[in-house]
């Protein structure tokens, strides 16, 4: 919700702060900048201190950043607030998959990751569906305050109900009181070519999908003259299908025993489908949005289930997630910024067409890995 509260109200922000498309795209791209800087440090922090310290960083960063954004009176302060929020997202991506991976055996990990992976589409769907109405009542600042209070509430639930588990990363003892053996050096992950290939896959996926998610409501509102509530609603259809696709992807991943197919085929499908959506008439637009939304769920589900297997040691899965997050955040940073710049220079159609080769590169990266 913190990440995707911007796209549904982006036209309002552009008008209220007189922003160009390139400047407005920074509100999504800058969110990822902190993640790039903090990816590896967050992996070391999680490896050393465990889930609870990482969870506190998430809660404080997201709540503080959202509150600061709501109070910001100019663009620079709003950008700063997005960077603070990005720190929280950084720790979520590192900690949460490692926690899930430690609780499930490999043959059930796909399903578990499929359930966990709905967090992004659920949050984005909530924002695409609700943010325009909240903004209509209280302005775009109202959206920021609602998300701030929601963050505090969910953070309290996390601290109350997520408990230590055997083998947890960090300085936590086993239930029997014996300290766990020391894990291998995290530097082993930095030397793993397989983990960096997964980072490339996540770079391409986020470059393509986050760009498409960010600019679709604005394109429909400005480029097609569609009311903002309807434009955000159509984008919400895409994220709703992503919610449905995540568990399906997990089940198929476990049934087939292949994470690779679950990652490669969706990237190949998105390569033509996303550019076609911006060229299509209204009769074809909705089916294409549904296709993109559904297949996009498969990539993170399959990839995150594969990362623990590709890590040099299962106890280094948190650090491996940190490396993958570098790719994710670089894609989140450069994707919307690149598309926003191309919109101003060459128009909507050319800007979106540039996403096709990035999708194909992601498919190639996934195929080159040794994930099963």
pLDDT of 176 above 50: no
State the DSSP code for 222: I
Burial pattern 159-180, b for ≥16 Cβ within 10 A else e, equals: eeeeeeeeebbbebeeeeeeee
pLDDT value, residue 173? 37
Within 5-103, residue ranges assigned H as helices are: 10-17, 21-49, 51-71, 75-103
Does CATH number 1.20.1250.20 belong to domain 3-162+191-368? yes
Which among 27-31, 188-192, 274-278 has the top mean pLDDT? Answer: 274-278
Mean pLDDT of the chain: 83
More confident residue, 164 or 39: 39
In this structure, the chain runs to a length of 372
Using one digit for the tens of pLDDT, what is the confidence trace for 307-358? Answer: 777 776 766 777 788 888 888 888 888 888 888 889 888 888 888 898 999 9
Taking residues 58-79, what's their average pLDDT? 91
Taking residues 29-47, what's their average pLDDT? 78
DSSP secondary structure, 333-346, as one string: HHHHHHHHHHHHHH
Residue 226 Ramachandran class (φ > 0 left, ψ -120 to 50 alpha, else beta):
beta
pLDDT of 165 above 80: no
* Integer-rounded Cα radius of gyration of the chain: 20
pLDDT band at 49 (very low <50, low <70, confident <90, very high): confident
Using one digit for the tens of pLDDT, what is the confidence trace for 16-26? Answer: 888 887 788 78
Task: Say how far apart CA 67 and CA 103 lie, in whole Å.
Answer: 34
Torsion of CA 134, 135, 140, 143, to 10 degrees: 10
Indicate the burial class of 264 (C-beta count within 10 angstroms; 0-12, 13-18, 19 or more): buried
Taking residues 203-217, what's their average pLDDT? 89
pLDDT value, residue 63? 94
105-109, 172-176, 265-269: range with lowest mean pLDDT: 172-176
* Percent of the chain at pLDDT exceeding 90: 24
pTM of the entire structure? Answer: 0.74
Nearest residue to 213 via CA among 162, 172, 270: 270
Taking residues 153-161, what's their average pLDDT? 88
pLDDT of 182 above 80: no
Task: Say how far apart CA 173 and CA 117 lie, in whole Å.
Answer: 28
pLDDT value, residue 242? 85
Task: Say how far apart CA 140 and CA 142 lie, in whole Å.
Answer: 5
Question: 């911006």: which residue's tokens?
Answer: 278
Taking residues 360-372, what's their average pLDDT? 90
State whether the Cα torsion 79-83-84-89 is positive or negative: positive
pLDDT value, residue 184? 67
Within the chain, residue ranges assigned H as helices are: 10-17, 21-49, 51-71, 75-103, 106-116, 119-161, 187-190, 193-218, 228-256, 259-279, 282-296, 298-310, 317-346, 348-353, 355-368
Which residues make Cβ contacts (< 8 Å) with residue 319, sequence separation at least 6?
Answer: 43, 44, 46, 47, 186, 189, 311
Task: Say how far apart CA 291 and CA 283 lie, in whole Å.
Answer: 14
Residue pair 108/58 in contact (Cβ under 8 Å)? The answer is no
């Amino acid at each position: 919700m913190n990440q995707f509260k911007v796209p549904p109200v982006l036209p309002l922000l552009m008008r209220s702060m007189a922003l160009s498309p390139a400047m407005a795209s920074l509100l999504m791209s800058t969110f990822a900048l902190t993640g790039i800087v903090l990816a590896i440090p967050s992996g070391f922090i999680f490896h050393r201190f465990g889930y609870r310290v990482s969870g506190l960083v998430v809660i404080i960063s997201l709540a503080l950043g959202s509150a600061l954004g709501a109070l910001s009176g100019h663009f620079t302060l709003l950008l700063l607030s997005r960077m603070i929020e990005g720190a929280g997202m950084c720790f979520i991506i590192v900690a949460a998959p490692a926690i899930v991976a430690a609780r499930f055996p490999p043959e059930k990990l796909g399903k578990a990751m499929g359930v966990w992976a709905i967090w992004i589409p659920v949050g984005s769907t909530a924002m695409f569906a609700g943010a325009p109405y909240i903004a209509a009542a209280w302005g775009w600042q109202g959206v920021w305050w609602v998300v701030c209070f929601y963050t505090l509430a969910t953070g309290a639930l996390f601290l109350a109900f997520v408990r230590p588990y055997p083998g947890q990363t960090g300085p936590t003892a086993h239930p029997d009181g014996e300290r766990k053996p020391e894990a291998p050096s995290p530097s082993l992950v930095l030397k793993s070519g397989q983990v960096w290939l997964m980072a490339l896959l996540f770079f391409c996926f986020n470059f393509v999908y986050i760009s498409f998610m960010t600019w679709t409501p604005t394109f429909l509102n400005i480029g097609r003259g569609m009311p903002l509530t309807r434009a955000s609603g159509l984008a919400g259809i895409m994220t709703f299908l992503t919610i449905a696709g995540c568990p399906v992807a997990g089940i198929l991943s476990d049934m087939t025993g292949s994470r690779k197919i679950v990652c490669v085929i969706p990237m190949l499908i998105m390569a033509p489908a996303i550019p076609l959506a911006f060229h299509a008439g209204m009769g074809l637009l909705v089916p294409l949005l549904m296709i993109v939304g559904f297949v996009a769920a498969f990539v993170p589900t399959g990839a995150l289930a594969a990362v623990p297997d590709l890590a040099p040691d299962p106890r280094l899965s948190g650090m491996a997630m940190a490396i993958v997050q570098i790719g994710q955040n670089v894609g989140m940073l450069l994707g919307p910024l690149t598309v926003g710049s191309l919109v101003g220079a060459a128009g909507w159609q050319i800007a979106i067409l540039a996403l096709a080769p990035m999708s194909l590169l992601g498919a190639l990266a996934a195929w080159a890995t040794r994930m099963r």
